[in-house]
């Protein structure tokens, strides 16, 4: 444990030590998605006082706890992952009914979003025990906050698209019919295939978040049809974990709106810049707007 986290533990006790942490309760605890300093003071305190910690991967969680100076005996770590969640939930419930306090953490971020935890939470609630969430890091909201997407029409979390080609193409076709923003997750060995599938969405913008909160974090926004070339440009761009935000579809322009917007922009900007901005504002085809801009210039 570094000295900085020793101070964090002291601050956690001061900030949350007087709060009520009821027994017979499952604490759903968000943990960092990369940067260890993103842990909350409340999470540090709860992880230090619970009777046991249920986790997606006991080895990963033990390393996390060790970094904070909260290492636990192996018997206090309960394995609850996607392959045993239903059965392991019964063990957790049995201990909760005996008055214990148990935390649940996934490998990174907020449990039960894309990681395991939802079945555990549902079973615990059905058994009549309390579930107490501790908010914190989430790759979904982290990517959205850096995308510049307004979210006026809301957003959809789709997670990982199917790995099979046909099913993935069907999923992308469904995304094309939805004007809302969509958050996707992808692993490095499948990011090229996903980029090729999304390219059919044309100029609809995509914000790519790679290695969010980590040392080599990268956040870029490109058109969907430019994503494969952007990935191929540098090998490093295909490494790490990915969160992608498919921006909401532009509102269809009314007849003549593109020309009106172009007329305004062309008075202040170069032709190509004016066309690019007009396409983003109106949702019209960039090629069509370019032809209109040339006509306006000649006129």
Taking only the tens place, the pLDDT of each residue in 110-164 is 999 989 999 999 999 999 999 999 999 999 999 999 999 876 778 999 999 999 9
Structure tokens at 238: 């295909």
Residues of the chain with confidence (pLDDT) below 70: 1-3, 151, 251-255, 299
CA dist 179 → 173, 246, 285 (Å): 12, 10, 17
Q: Where are the domains of the chain?
A: 3-137, 140-246, 257-298
Yes or no: domain 3-137 corresponds to CATH 3.40.1010.10: yes
Contact yes or no for 187/241 (Cβ under 8 A)? yes
Total-model pTM: 0.81
| pLDDT tens track for 1-25 | 555 799 999 999 999 999 999 999 9
Q: Which homologous superfamily is 140-246 in?
A: Tetrapyrrole methylase, C-terminal domain (3.30.950.10)
Helix, strand, coil share (%) of the chain residues, nearest 5:
50, 15, 35
Structure tokens at 145: 């906050």
Contacts of 40 (CB under 8 A, 6+ apart): 30, 134, 135, 136
The alpha-carbon radius of gyration of the chain (Å, integer) is 24
Name beta bridge partners: 209.
219, 243
């Amino acid at each position: 444990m570094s000295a900085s986290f020793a101070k964090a533990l002291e601050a956690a006790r001061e900030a949350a030590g007087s709060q009520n942490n009821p027994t017979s309760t499952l604490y759903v605890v968000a943990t960092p998605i990369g940067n260890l300093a993103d842990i909350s003071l409340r999470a540090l305190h709860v992880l230090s006082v619970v009777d046991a910690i249920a986790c997606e991967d006991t080895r990963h969680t033990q390393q996390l706890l060790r970094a904070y100076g909260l290492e636990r005996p192996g018997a206090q770590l309960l394995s609850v992952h996607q392959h045993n969640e239903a059965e392991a939930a019964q063990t957790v419930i049995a201990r909760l009914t005996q008055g214990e306090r148990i935390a649940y953490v996934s490998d990174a971020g907020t449990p039960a979003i894309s990681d395991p935890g939802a079945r555990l939470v549902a079973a615990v609630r059905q058994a009549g025990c309390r579930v107490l969430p501790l908010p914190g890091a989430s790759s979904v909201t982290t990517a959205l906050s850096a995308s510049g997407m307004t979210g006026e029409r809301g957003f959809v979390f789709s997670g990982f698209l199917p790995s099979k080609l046909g099913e993935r193409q069907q999923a992308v076709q469904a995304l094309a019919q939805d004007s809302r923003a969509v958050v996707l997750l992808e692993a490095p060995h499948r990011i090229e295939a996903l980029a090729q599938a999304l390219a059919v969405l044309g100029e609809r913008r995509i914000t790519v978040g790679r290695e969010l909160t980590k040392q080599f974090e990268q956040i870029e926004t490109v058109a969907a049809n430019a994503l494969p070339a952007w990935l191929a440009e540098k090998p490093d761009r295909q490494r790490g974990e990915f969160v992608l935000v498919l921006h909401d579809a532009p509102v269809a322009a009314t007849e003549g709106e593109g020309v009106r917007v172009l007329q305004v922009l062309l008075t202040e900007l170069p032709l190509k810049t004016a066309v690019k901005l007009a396409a983003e504002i109106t949702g019209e085809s960039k090629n069509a707007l370019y032809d209109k801009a040339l006509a306006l210039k000649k006129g």
